[in-house]
């Protein structure tokens, strides 16, 4: 299924996996619309992508905001959501408020986005959400992300039936070198990346482009729905 001229909306398209995904869809000659909270990230991303890209602000934790966003976008073909913030910490110590905030973002944000997008999609459309390998194989201190990622995958299975013939899938990345880790100082970040790379069958952690091509595949392949595609360098087996 060609993506030439198709309109693709990427919530989270200003950074990391989402920005690489915007690049990958542009390479397929799709028309790309990106959304995120920060106006400066939006204008930086539009410049970095070097092509005509529509960009609108939204905070996907708020349903009204998301509805307003899609009102501006209008009809489109494929929806990708990569936005989402998590929370890490031992189950006994992590404040419940932080767990709820993470659900507000990564679970409810994706839920709101799908809900508000439906009127603007068509029968040949696809929706691709994002979970993460911790949904299936959490390390210690990842119970919140284990729960959120599993919930996103469960939501996708329900939506696959409720929204058919629109196709619905999930991409589940392993560790990816993105600005998500910008809050860590250099040494522990490099230590984490090297430690994980050493455990993986592929011997390295992912770059955003490794994950981006999966969203393109799922938009193009008209026979794939109800699937979780793990792009984890073999983490699940290591
Ligand atoms: N990187 C990894 O190792 C990894 C591994 C497994 C799963 N994942 C998942 O992959 C997804 C993308 O991660 P990433 O590494 O690409 O993260 P990232 O570089 O931090 O990018 C996150 C994007 O989401 C946007 N965003 C965050 N909160 C938002 C909100 N409330 N409303 C609208 N936009 C929002 C951010 O822009 P603004 O700040 O402008 O809103 C940014 O564009 C996340 O769901 C993450 O959990 C990542």
> For position 1, what pLDDT does the model report?
86
> For position 76, what pLDDT does the model report?
98
Query: Tens digits of per-residue pLDDT, 100-148?
Result: 999 999 999 999 999 999 999 999 999 999 999 999 999 999 999 999 9
Is the distance from the beta carbon of residue 15 to the nearest atom of ligand 1 less than 6 Å? Answer: yes
Interatomic CA distance for residues 220 and 234, integer angstroms:
24
CA of 106, closest atom in ligand 1: 45
Q: Whose CA is nearest to atom 11 of ligand 1?
A: 82
H-type helices in 79-142, by residue range?
A: 96-102, 108-117
Is the distance from the beta carbon of residue 107 to the nearest atom of ligand 1 less than 6 Å? Answer: no
All structural domains of the chain, each given as residue ranges with its CATH number in brackets, are 7-230 (3.40.50.720)
Query: Tens digits of per-residue pLDDT, 148-187?
Result: 999 999 999 999 999 999 999 999 999 999 999 999 999 9
Interatomic CA distance for residues 160 and 155, integer angstroms:
9
Query: Are 12 and 85 in contact, with CB atoms under 8 Å apart?
Result: no
Query: Are 145 and 87 in contact, with CB atoms under 8 Å apart?
Result: yes
* Residue 228 burial (C-beta neighbours within 10 Å; 0-12, 13-18, 19+): middle
Asked if residue 82 has pLDDT above 90, the reply is yes
Q: What is the mean pLDDT of residues 40-46?
A: 97
Asked if residue 11 has pLDDT above 90, the reply is yes
Could you give the C-alpha distances from 20 to 10, 15, 48, 176, 216, in angstroms and in order?
10, 8, 11, 12, 11
CA of 182, closest atom in ligand 1: 20
Q: Whose CA is nearest to atom 29 of ligand 1?
A: 83
Query: Tens digits of per-residue pLDDT, 187-226?
Result: 999 999 999 999 999 999 999 999 999 999 999 999 999 9
The residue to mutate among 128, 136, 180, having the most atoms of ligand 1 within 8 angstroms of its beta carbon, is: 180
Residue 51: band (very low, low, confident or very high) from pLDDT cuts 50, 70, 90:
confident
Interatomic CA distance for residues 102 and 97, integer angstroms:
9
Q: What is the mean pLDDT of residues 92-103?
A: 98
The residue to mutate among 84, 144, 183, having the most atoms of ligand 1 within 8 angstroms of its beta carbon, is: 84
Interatomic CA distance for residues 173 and 133, integer angstroms:
6
């Amino acid at each position: 299924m060609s993506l030439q001229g198709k309109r693709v909306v990427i919530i989270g398209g200003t950074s990391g996996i989402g920005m690489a995904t915007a690049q990958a869809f542009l390479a397929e000659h799709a028309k790309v619309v990106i959304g995120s909270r920060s106006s400066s990230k939006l204008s930086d991303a539009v410049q970095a992508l070097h092509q005509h890209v529509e960009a609108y602000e939204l905070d996907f934790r708020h349903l009204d905001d998301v509805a307003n966003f899609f009102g501006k976008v209008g009809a489109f073909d494929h929806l990708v959501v990569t936005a989402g913030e998590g929370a890490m910490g031992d189950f006994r110590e992590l404040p419940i408020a932080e767990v709820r905030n993470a659900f507000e973002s990564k679970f409810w944000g994706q839920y709101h986005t799908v809900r508000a997008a439906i009127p603007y999609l068509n029968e040949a459309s696809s929706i691709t959400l994002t979970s993460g390998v911790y949904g299936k194989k959490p390390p210690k201190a990842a119970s919140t992300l284990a729960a959120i990622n599993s919930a996103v995958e469960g939501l996708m299975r329900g939506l696959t039936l409720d929204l058919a013939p629109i196709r619905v899938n999930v991409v589940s990345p392993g560790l990816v070198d993105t600005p998500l880790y910008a809050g860590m100082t250099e040494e522990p970040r490099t230590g984490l990346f090297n430690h994980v790379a050493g455990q993986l069958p592929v011997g390295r952690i992912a770059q955003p482009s490794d994950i981006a091509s999966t969203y393109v595949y799922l938009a193009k392949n008209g026979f794939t729905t109800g699937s979780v595609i793990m792009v984890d360098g073999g983490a699940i087996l290591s």
